[in-house]
């Protein structure tokens, strides 16, 4: 059946370009959509009145109370923003919300329809199971996002846009500044707004939320103070006097710092943001809800993928929309073709796959400078029917693949061969790191997906190439550089952290980990701290071995200053800097000496590990391995540790 719209199209705007209505109500069974301005309750009443009038014209009796209640319950709240419709589902009636979604897609593209209630487990789980995490509206975390959300929440009910609308609860917040500003209106408009506020002051919506709340006021003034006034029966002078008195009392009830609607005022902005998302204490991200650590906070863009129904893979229809509208920049960003290949690989690997959600990491998780080469990183949340918990995987595209080689001018065959050699080089480095004591993630797999090439070499445009990515399990911990400073005030935590970091530094230095510019890479996003149930650090795992064996010729003493930095950066936040530094240095020296002793005891096993690989003094891995071992053998751990000590900012350390 064709969707019936009562009112205007949800994206209809007035002459100034503003949306005519910010809310709508959909009745998916009919199907019908009400967009007439008002609140959701008035839209439902309007629809029921219309149904009864039509039934009367057709000779049928009016709907019974039970039938009206059923129509009311089977409706879904919608919030309209510029270019998007947000579905506010009833967590206990998710199927109705999904039916509403299907109906809305008759008039609005799927990628412009999203779901609210990310914090509700029932809602989030139902959407996850459809493989549609990308459709959950994210919560604001940055200042810019908060500002945009607050500005977009301005809404009118029957007159001007004087309210701030909570999309999750349906409540409207009125600030003392907006209320005071009503005094500048003419008599008719002032009366209209005061009558509206008084009438709605005691009403609740279907979720039990008050339709109107006063923002940031104390108990000395409340909506109950509007009750004694008969705004409709007052003359103009009485109306103005009543408004001035109420405005005075409202302002007196609000802290002076919160009396002006100032997006530049941090306290006002944070209080309003908390009110609009219903989180008084803290903001929770969907990444944290999925079990990802704080380093992924607001860093994951979830992508359209697919879901599994009765063992069959069904790709999201929005991918077809992208094919039909290749010039749409929003669809181009959203529909990442690599996501399809990643899902294919999971389906092939797991026979009892229930669902998978794939997201693209949109910001670097480390502080280091990015150099040439592919840097794409993805997160995959996989659920198997045979396992009670979801499995989280991190996927990183190979830095130098066929595409990158072609873009450098290599012919197709040469690009394929060089990409395969780089895969072997990457895996060899991983093995070398483990052999030399670096604590890496337990499992890494090299996989491939197909892509179409449209790079620098036009003669290969449209050619299918196979790109490698590395898949590992997610390490549940927190990166060393993301640990809040206050954690180091606990001396037990700080000292154990220092010991673990010192051990990790020793292996990192031995394998010569640095970027292409020769800058040491350590303690900048890849080292992840694992804690026990009591919050005590028990292990540091290196999530990615990027840059290892890049420096294989220099004297390790030249890097002493770089390995003093992990201590120097934290001097101001630890309770006992001297003990922290000593714990780091002692652990470094012990671990370095231990790795060196292991090499000397089994030197033949170490030296022949990559003897089957080509040896090229121009920089082959076999040659790098040889040089790193020789450097390890001749370095004095005591002297090296003393060199680091001399670079510490603490003069009191002997």
Instruction: Select the more confidently predicted residue: 348 or 371.
Output: 348
pLDDT given for residue 47 in this prediction: 96
The residue-averaged pLDDT of 71-86 equals 91
**Higher-scoring residue by pLDDT: 376, 505:** 505
CA 517 to chain centroid: 31
pLDDT in tens, 417-466: 999 999 999 999 999 999 999 999 888 999 999 999 999 999 999 999 99
Interval 174-208: pLDDT, tens: 999 999 999 999 999 999 999 999 999 999 988 78
Start-to-end CA distance of the chain, whole Å, equals 83
Which is more confident, 327 or 368?
A: 327
**Predicted local confidence at residue 136, as pLDDT:** 82
Predicted confidence band at 284 (pLDDT cuts at 50, 70, 90)?
Answer: very low
Helix (H, G, I), strand (E, B) or coil at 104: helix
d(CA 357, CA 126): 12
pLDDT one-digit tens code per residue, 132-159: 888 887 767 567 878 888 998 999 998 8
Tally Cβ neighbours within 10 Å of residue 387.
12
CB distance 100 to 3 below 8 Å: no
Higher pLDDT, 329 or 382: 382
Q: Which residue has the higher pLDDT, 303 or 279?
A: 303
pLDDT at 288 over 90: no
Mean pLDDT of 336-356: 89
Average pLDDT rounded to a whole number, residues 490-517: 95
CA quadruple 99, 102, 103, 108: dihedral sign: positive
Label the pairing between strands 32-34 and 23-27.
Answer: antiparallel
* SS3 assignment, position 107: coil
What's the pLDDT score for residue 285?
43
Question: Dihedrals φ, ψ of 307, to 5°?
Answer: -135, 165
Q: What SS3 class is residue 214?
A: strand
Cα 239 to Cα 237: distance, rounded to the nearest angstrom: 5
Do residues 639 and 559 touch, judged by C-beta distance below 8 A? Answer: no
Q: What's the whole-number mean pLDDT along residues 629-650?
A: 95
State whether residue 165 is helix, strand or coil: strand
Q: What is the pLDDT of residue 135?
A: 87
Q: Quick: pLDDT tens for 573-624.
A: 998 999 999 999 999 999 999 999 999 999 999 999 999 999 999 999 999 9
Return the percentage of the chain with pLDDT > 90, whole number: 64
Quick one: pLDDT at residue 311?
76
Boundaries of every domain in the chain = 1-119, 138-288, 297-473, 478-646
The mean per-residue pLDDT over the stretch 102-109 comes to 94
The answer, yes or no, to whether residue 471 has pLDDT greater than 60, is yes
pLDDT at 302: 84
Residue 70 scores a pLDDT above 60: yes
330-356 CB burial, b ≥16 within 10 A, e <16: ebeebbbebbbbbbebbbeebeebbbb
Which of 62-76, 80-94, 287-301, 633-647 has the least mean pLDDT? 287-301
* Top CATH class, 478-646: mainly alpha
Give how far Cα 629 sits from Cα of 216, 573, 642, Å.
66, 37, 21
Q: Using 50, 70 and 90 to split pLDDT, how confident is the model at 119?
A: low
**For residue 496, what are the CA distances in angstroms to 52, 499, 507, 535, 592?**
72, 5, 18, 11, 18
Q: What percent of the chain has pLDDT over 70?
A: 93
Q: Average pLDDT in the 33-38 region?
A: 94
If you average pLDDT over every residue of the chain, what do you get?
89
Confidence of residue 286 (pLDDT cuts 50, 70, 90): very low
Q: What is the mean pLDDT of residues 155-179?
A: 92
pLDDT for the residue numbered 209: 86
């Amino acid at each position: 059946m064709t969707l019936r719209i009562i009112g205007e199209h949800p994206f209809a705007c007035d002459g100034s370009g503003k949306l005519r209505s910010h809310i709508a109500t959909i009745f998916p069974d009919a199907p019908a959509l009400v967009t007439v301005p008002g609140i959701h309750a008035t839209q439902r009443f309007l629809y029921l009145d219309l149904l009864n009038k039509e039934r009367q014209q057709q000779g049928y009796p009016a709907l019974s109370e039970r039938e009206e209640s059923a129509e009311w319950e089977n409706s879904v709240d919608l919030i309209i923003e510029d270019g998007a419709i947000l579905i506010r589902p009833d967590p206990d009636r998710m199927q109705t919300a999904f039916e509403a979604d299907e109906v809305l897609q008759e008039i609005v593209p799927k990628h412009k329809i999203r779901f609210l209630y990310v914090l509700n487990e029932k809602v989030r789980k139902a959407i996850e199971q459809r493989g549609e995490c990308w459709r959950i509206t994210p919560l604001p975390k940055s200042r810019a996002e908060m500002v945009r959300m607050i500005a977009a929440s301005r809404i009118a009910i029957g007159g001007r846009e004087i309210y701030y609308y909570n999309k999750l609860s349906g409540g409207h917040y009125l600030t003392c500044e907006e209320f005071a500003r009503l005094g500048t209106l003419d008599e008719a408009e002032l009366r209209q707004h005061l009558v509206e506020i008084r009438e709605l002051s005691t009403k609740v919506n279907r979720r039990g939320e008050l339709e109107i709340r006063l923002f940031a006021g104390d108990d000395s003034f409340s909506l109950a103070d509007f009750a004694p006034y008969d705004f409709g029966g007052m003359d103009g002078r009485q109306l103005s006097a009543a408004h001035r008195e109420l405005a005075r009392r409202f302002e007196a009830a609000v802290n002076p710092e919160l009396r002006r609607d100032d997006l530049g005022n941090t306290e006002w902005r944070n209080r309003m943001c908390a009110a609009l998302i219903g989180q008084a204490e803290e903001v929770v991200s969907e990444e944290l809800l999925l079990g990802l650590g704080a380093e992924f906070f607001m860093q994951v863009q979830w992508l359209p993928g697919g879901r599994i129904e009765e063992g069959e893979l069904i790709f999201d229809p929005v991918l077809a929309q992208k094919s039909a509208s290749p010039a749409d920049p929003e669809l181009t960003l959203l529909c990442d073709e690599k996501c399809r290949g990643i899902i294919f690989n999971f389906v092939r690997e797991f026979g009892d796959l229930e669902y998978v959600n794939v997201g693209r990491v949109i910001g670097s998780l480390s502080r280091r400078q990015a150099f040439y080469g592919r840097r794409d990183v993805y997160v995959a949340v996989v659920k198997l029917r045979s396992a009670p918990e979801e499995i989280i995987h991190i996927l990183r595209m190979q830095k130098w693949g066929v595409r990158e080689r072609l873009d450098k001018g290599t012919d197709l065959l040469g690009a394929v061969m060089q990409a395969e050699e780089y895969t072997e080089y990457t895996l060899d480095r991983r093995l070398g790191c483990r052999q030399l004591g670096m604590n890496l993630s337990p499992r890494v797999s090299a996989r491939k997906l197909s892509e179409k090439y449209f790079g620098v070499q036009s003669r290969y445009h449209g050619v299918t190439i196979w790109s490698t990515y590395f898949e590992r399990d997610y390490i549940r911990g927190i990166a060393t550089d993301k640990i809040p400073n206050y954690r180091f005030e606990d001396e037990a935590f700080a000292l154990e952290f220092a010991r673990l970091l010192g051990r990790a530094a020793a292996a990192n230095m031995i394998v010569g980990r640095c970027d292409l510019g020769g800058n040491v890479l350590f303690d900048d996003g890849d080292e992840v701290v694992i804690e026990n149930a009591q919050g005590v650090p028990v292990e540091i795992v290196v999530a990615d071995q990027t840059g290892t064996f890049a420096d294989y010729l220099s004297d390790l003493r030249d890097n002493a200053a770089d390995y003093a930095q992990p201590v120097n950066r934290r001097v101001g936040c630890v309770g006992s800097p001297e003990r922290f530094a000593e714990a780091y240095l002692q652990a470094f020296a012990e671990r370095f000496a231990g790795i060196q002793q292991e090499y000397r005891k089994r030197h033949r096993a170490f030296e022949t590990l990559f003897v089957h690989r080509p040896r090229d003094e121009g920089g082959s891995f076999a040659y790098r391995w040889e040089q790193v071992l020789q450097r390890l053998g001749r370095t004095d751990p005591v002297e090296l540790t003393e060199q680091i000590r001399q670079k510490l900012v603490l003069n009191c350390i002997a």
